[in-house]
A = this chain, B = another copy of it.
Amino acid sequence: MISVGLDIGSVAAKGVMLAGNNKFQAVLPTGWSPREAGKNIVKTLLDISGFSRSDIDRIVVTGYGRVALTEAYKAVTEITCHARGIAELYPEVRTIIDIGGQDSKVIRINEKGRVIDFAMNDKCAAGTGRFLQVMANTLGLDVSELAENEDQSQITAINSMCTVFAESEIVSLMARGVSKGGIIAGIHQSVARRVAGMVKRVGLQEKVAFTGGVALNAGVRNALRRELGIDIIVPEVCQFTGALGAALLAREA
């Protein structure tokens, strides 16, 4: 049985292939075409595994770009796939925080990995990877450079929740000579606060896992620990939990 899960996000396309006890994974930028990205991920998985297209029994696709691929593959919501992926990796997790490139979600699951409740923000860039991207750009950094330049000891709170207003706020903080590292710490705090508000709506139940591309950022991870006042689990494969869940659902279908 060879199953593939694809998670076509707004920024990155992720894929996981399960072939018996072997697991292969690949990530590529989504670019302009979610459909092309999906095809390229499958191609990459075949290249690294040595299998051919006809060996794949089933493909499940999830994520923002899944609609573009529904003809060829079964589409499942990200919430279901994340829940399945996390339940496999960490059966003790009851709350999943997923911060992606342009949305954020908080998912409550039961001991069977079933989704009980969730909160989702995909209307407002605040509290998503997009907020970090805009802020990094304003600071003249790549989004991947934010965490390493953070200075927790000089944290400067960003008052505006709105990405657009926060951008102006940061420009004037810089003009006033406020430390860049402290501003970055404030940026991470802003994302954590927004998402902690969503956690409160769903109700905080331990253990908590943090997934999605933004979980790669150590500054946001720490800010989230502080805001929630508890430790959080960050899967090593935090970018791949959705794709893993999709692959498991493909295998189990």
Contact = CB atoms under 8 A, between A and B. Distances in A.
A90 interface: no
Interface string A114-141: 0000000001110000110010000000
A134 B164 CA distance: 9
Nearest to A122: B165
A interface, size bucket: 10 to 19
A230 interface: no
Contact of A124 (B102, B130, B131, B162): B162
Copies in the complex: 2
A151 B15 CA distance: 43
Given A124-B124, A131-B164, 12 more contacts: A102-B165, A123-B162, A123-B165, A124-B162, A125-B162, A125-B164, A125-B165, A134-B164, A162-B163, A163-B163, A163-B164, A164-B164
A28 interface: no
Interface of A: 102, 123-125, 130-131, 134, 160-165
A159 to B, nearest CB: 10
A166 to B, nearest CB: 10
Contacts of A160: 123
Contacts of A125: 162-165
Contacts of A164: 125, 130-131, 134, 163-164
Nearest to A134: B164
Contacts of A161: 123
Nearest to A164: B125
Nearest to A161: B123
A94 B123 CA distance: 32
